[in-house]
């Protein structure tokens, strides 16, 4: 969701910004733009559509300064004028913004009523305020900080002063922003991706920071709080490799990432097992001490991992666990126990709804643990402890390997704090082997997708863990194939939803649990009798010859990680059949940085 790049240094800003924007495409966007120095004047190029359009309208320029943006519309339609960068009223300042300025309308009316606005965006108000206060104070730093003190909401900003081409300014509150540092200059980015080619180190920014970068003779950087006091900062090493973010021989990132799942599970085993013994950070031990209930907070696919994890923590570790969707929890906080532990699951570590909950639960004084794929993310940095899921960069918007990796790590956690008869290391390696087998037979799923996905809707059913897999399977299908799909508790279908079943409605059942497999089979017969076209994904020992996908037996706790894979492939092939953009589905963003 909205990507930002800023570049100041001896590298070619046009290349850094355009490549950076391409690397941020995965976050989701609908327009793109940039500002570069052209014949001693900062010039803006922008349009709706993909970065490749922007590349085609950007002339060949050698610029040492540049800012760029991919916009995911929140305020104002998807139009060229609403795309970023935006000018201030007299074009003294140009900026790009990610986030939402909640009081933009009030600020327009109270302080900027004398001016005409060119766009419908909240971001433009920030540019105008900066120039308005610059005209009063005659100091850019003061003007930006004054603006920061007035705006409510979230922002990551990169700002150019058109009268000083050797300075670049960045400001951050709630929305993610990092500054890459190299001997050649600075690159600002919404995440680490745009930094990779030039920087080996970066500075994560705290909320309420203003960064002033300069290249007058020597390179210089200083970070201030809103009051103007200089802040200390730490340089962190960048550990992501550019080779991890390529598509290789794959047509789509999603298929590559589905294929990588077995190796991700093997990596997790090697990271967390030392001589067959589970090893976790002391900080993780500490947050669990004396806790009487776990509250898992997450969104989307991560919330689906949370539902399975509830079973892990309750069944294996005996800790009562609740799962809440972050966007609901923040405003409808339930009654809490005396000693809760908050576990945040987030592949990006940036989801604004989850971040808002973390701020709230920290204010309430409760310990927090984040399970994430991005060690440098806001949630990882700000919670008391974090556990890495080691999935490697996930570029496709539809999350696949991060889901399986989160489940593996959550199962490890439950086993670490509880007791189970299973040999976890062995079961996880077995699961990795079975994942490879399923992936090697992906053509079977491709064929099934053609047979099954012929309608505008589809249902997935299951009980227990299989119900949670059904929910995730449905989410995958709707995200990328745009088929209206729902995951249901198999027994609940007859209490209303069965009315939707008609001739050839696709219904897929997931059957991995011995105790309840026959009940799910009965529910399947109920829909078959009403004309549904059915498909069964079952565990070998519970299978019937007519089942379409049969998976080798694994421990029921590990089953969700394996059984989801044919569902991910079904969604993938479903999207191909529809001719959709698999990796960048319409309207969706990978990193949802607004509430
Ligand atoms: C977005 C993504 C989903 C993801 C959800 C939560 O909606 O498109 O794939 O599951 O955010 O993201 P998180 O990074 O917190 O797991």
Q: Which atom of ligand 1 is nearest to the CA of 301?
A: 10
CA of 349 to the centre of ligand 1 (A): 9
Exposure b/e, 343-374, CB count within 10 A at least 16 = b: bbbbbbbbbbbbbbbbebbeeeebbbbbbbbb
E strand segments, 308-456: 321-325, 340-346, 368-372, 385-388
Question: Does residue 567 register a pLDDT over 90?
Answer: yes
pLDDT for res 595: 73
Residue 160, φ and ψ in degrees, nearest 5: -110, 135
Q: Give me the mean pLDDT over the 42-68 stretch.
A: 95
Q: Residue of the nearest CA to atom 16 in ligand 1? A: 346
Q: How far apart are CA 240 and CA 391, in angstroms?
A: 12
Check: CB of residue 413 under 8 Å from CB of residue 280: yes
Per-domain residue ranges of the chain: 3-244, 246-439, 441-595
Of the listed 2, 199, 357, 567, which one is catalytic? 2
Q: Residue of the nearest CA to atom 5 in ligand 1? A: 300
pLDDT for res 151: 97
Q: How far apart are CA 310 and CA 491, in angstroms?
A: 20
Question: Does residue 162 register a pLDDT over 80?
Answer: yes
Q: Give me the mean pLDDT over the 551-571 stretch.
A: 97
Q: Closest Cα partner for 506 from 444, 459, 461, 550?
A: 459
Was domain 3-244 assigned CATH 3.60.20.10?
yes
Fold of 441-595: Rossmann fold (3.40.50)
CA of 399 to the centre of ligand 1 (A): 7
Q: Give me the mean pLDDT over the 272-301 stretch.
A: 95
Q: Is 442 a known active-site residue?
A: no
- Residues 350-372: pLDDT tens digits? 999 999 999 999 999 999 999 99
Least confident of 67-71, 224-228, 493-497, 546-550: 493-497
In CATH terms, are 3-244 and 246-439 the same topology?
no
Question: Does residue 380 register a pLDDT over 90?
Answer: yes
Write down the mean pLDDT value for the chain: 94
pLDDT for res 344: 98
pLDDT for res 240: 77
Question: Does residue 138 register a pLDDT over 90?
Answer: yes
Q: How far apart are CA 341 and CA 293, in angstroms?
A: 6
Question: Does residue 1 register a pLDDT over 70?
Answer: no
Q: How far apart are CA 410 and CA 212, in angstroms?
A: 41
Strands 340-346 and 368-372, how do they pair? parallel
Tokens representing 224?
């201030």
Candidate from 27, 397, 588, 590 with most ligand 1 atoms within 8 A of CB, to mutate: 590
For residue 572, what are the contacts with CB-CB under 8 A and spacing of at least 6?
252, 254, 255, 258, 480, 582
Q: Is 392 helix (H, G, I), strand (E, B) or coil?
A: coil
Q: Which atom of ligand 1 is nearest to the CA of 398?
A: 9
For residue 552, the 8-state DSSP code is -
Q: Is 357 a known active-site residue?
A: no
Residue 247 — pLDDT band, cuts 50, 70, 90? confident
Q: Is residue 159 classed exposed, middle or buried when 0-12, 13-18 and 19+ CB atoms within 10 A define those classes?
A: buried
326 pocket-lining for ligand 1 (C-beta < 6 Å): no
Q: Give me the mean pLDDT over the 73-83 stretch.
A: 89
346 pocket-lining for ligand 1 (C-beta < 6 Å): yes
Q: Residue of the nearest CA to atom 4 in ligand 1? A: 300
Of the listed 46, 476, 533, 590, which one is catalytic? 590
Candidate from 176, 351, 382 with most ligand 1 atoms within 8 A of CB, to mutate: 351
Q: Give me the mean pLDDT over the 243-267 stretch.
A: 88
303 pocket-lining for ligand 1 (C-beta < 6 Å): no
Question: Does residue 391 register a pLDDT over 80?
Answer: yes
- Number of neighbouring beta carbons within 10 Å of residue 6: 34
Residue that wins the pLDDT comparison between 212 and 595: 212
Question: Does residue 399 register a pLDDT over 90?
Answer: yes
Q: How far apart are CA 204 and CA 240, in angstroms?
A: 15
pLDDT for res 73: 85
- Residues 437-478: pLDDT tens digits? 999 999 999 999 999 999 999 999 999 999 999 999 999 999
Q: How far apart are CA 211 and CA 168, in angstroms?
A: 8
Instruction: Tell me: cis bond preceding 565? Omega within 30 of 0 counts.
Output: no
Q: How far apart are CA 275 and CA 293, in angstroms?
A: 31
pLDDT for res 135: 97
Was domain 246-439 assigned CATH 2.40.10.10?
no
- Number of neighbouring beta carbons within 10 Å of residue 398: 29
CA of 299 to the centre of ligand 1 (A): 6
399 pocket-lining for ligand 1 (C-beta < 6 Å): yes
Q: Residue of the nearest CA to atom 13 in ligand 1? A: 346
Q: Which atom of ligand 1 is nearest to the CA of 349?
A: 14
């Amino acid at each position: 969701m909205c990507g930002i790049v800023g570049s100041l240094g001896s590298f070619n800003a046009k290349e850094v910004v355009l490549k950076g924007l391409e690397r941020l495409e995965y976050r989701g966007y609908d327009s793109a733009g940039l500002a570069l120095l052209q014949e001693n004047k900062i010039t803006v190029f922008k349009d709706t559509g993909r970065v490749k359009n922007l590349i085609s309208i950007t002339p060949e320029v050698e610029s040492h300064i540049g800012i760029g943006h991919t916009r995911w519309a929140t305020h104002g339609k998807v139009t060229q004028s609403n795309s970023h960068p935006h000018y201030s009223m007299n074009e003294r300042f140009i900026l790009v913004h990610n986030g939402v300025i909640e009081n933009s309308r009030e600020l327009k009316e109270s302080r900027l009523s004398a001016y005409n606005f060119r766009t419908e965006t909240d971001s433009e108000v920030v540019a105008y305020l900066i120039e308005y206060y610059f005209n009063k104070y005659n100091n850019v730093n003061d003007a930006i900080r004054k603006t920061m003190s007035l705006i409510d909401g979230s922002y990551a900003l990169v700002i150019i002063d058109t009268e000083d081409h050797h300075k670049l300014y960045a400001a951050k509150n709630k929305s993610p922003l990092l500054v890459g540092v190299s001997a050649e200059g600075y690159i600002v980015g919404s995440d680490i991706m745009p930094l990779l080619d030039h920087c080996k180190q970066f500075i994560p920014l705290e909320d309420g920071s203003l960064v002033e970068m300069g290249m007058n003779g020597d390179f210089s950087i200083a970070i201030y709080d809103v009051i103007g006091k200089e802040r200390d900062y730490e340089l962190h090493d960048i550990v992501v490799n550019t080779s991890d973010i390529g598509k290789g021989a794959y047509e789509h990132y999603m298929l590559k990432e589905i294929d990588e799942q077995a190796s991700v599970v093997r990596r997790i085993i090697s990271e967390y097992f030392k001589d067959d013994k589970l090893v976790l950070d002391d900080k993780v031990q500490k947050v669990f001490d004396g806790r009487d209930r776990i509250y898992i907070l997450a969104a989307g696919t991560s919330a689906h991992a949370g539902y399975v994890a509830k079973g892990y923590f309750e069944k294996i570790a005996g800790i009562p666990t609740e799962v809440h969707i972050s966007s609901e929890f923040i405003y409808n906080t339930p009654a809490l126990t005396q000693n809760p532990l908050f576990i945040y699951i987030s592949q990006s570590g940036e989801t604004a709804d989850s971040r808002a909950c973390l701020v709230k639960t920290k204010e309430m004084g409760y310990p927090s643990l984040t399970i994430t794929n991005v060690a440098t993310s806001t949630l990882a940095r700000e919670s008391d402890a974090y556990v890495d899921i080691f999935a490697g960069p996930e570029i496709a918007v539809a999350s696949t390997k991060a889901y399986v990796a989160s489940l593996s790590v959550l199962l490890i956690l439950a086993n670490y704090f509880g007791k189970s008869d299973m040999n976890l290391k062995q079961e996880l390696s077995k699961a990795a082997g079975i994942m490879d087998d399923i992936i090697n037979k992906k053509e079977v799923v491709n064929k099934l997708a053609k047979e099954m996905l012929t309608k505008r809707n589809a249902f997935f059913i299951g009980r227990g863990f299989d119900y949670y897999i059904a929910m995730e399977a449905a989410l995958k299908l709707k995200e990328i194939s745009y088929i209206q799909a729902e995951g249901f508790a198999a027994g609940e279908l007859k209490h209303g939803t069965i009315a939707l079943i008609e001739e050839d409605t696709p219904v897929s059942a997931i059957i991995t649990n011995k105790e309840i497999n026959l009940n799910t089979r009965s529910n399947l017969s109920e829909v078959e009798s009403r004309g549904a076209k059915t498909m069964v994904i079952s565990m070998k020992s519970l299978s019937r010859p007519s089942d379409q996908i049969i998976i080798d037996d694994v421990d029921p706790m590990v089953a969700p990680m394996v059984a989801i894979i044919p569902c991910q492939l079904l969604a993938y092939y479903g999207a191909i059949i529809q001719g959709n953009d698999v990796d960048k589905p319409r309207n969706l963003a990978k990193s949802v940085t607004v509430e």
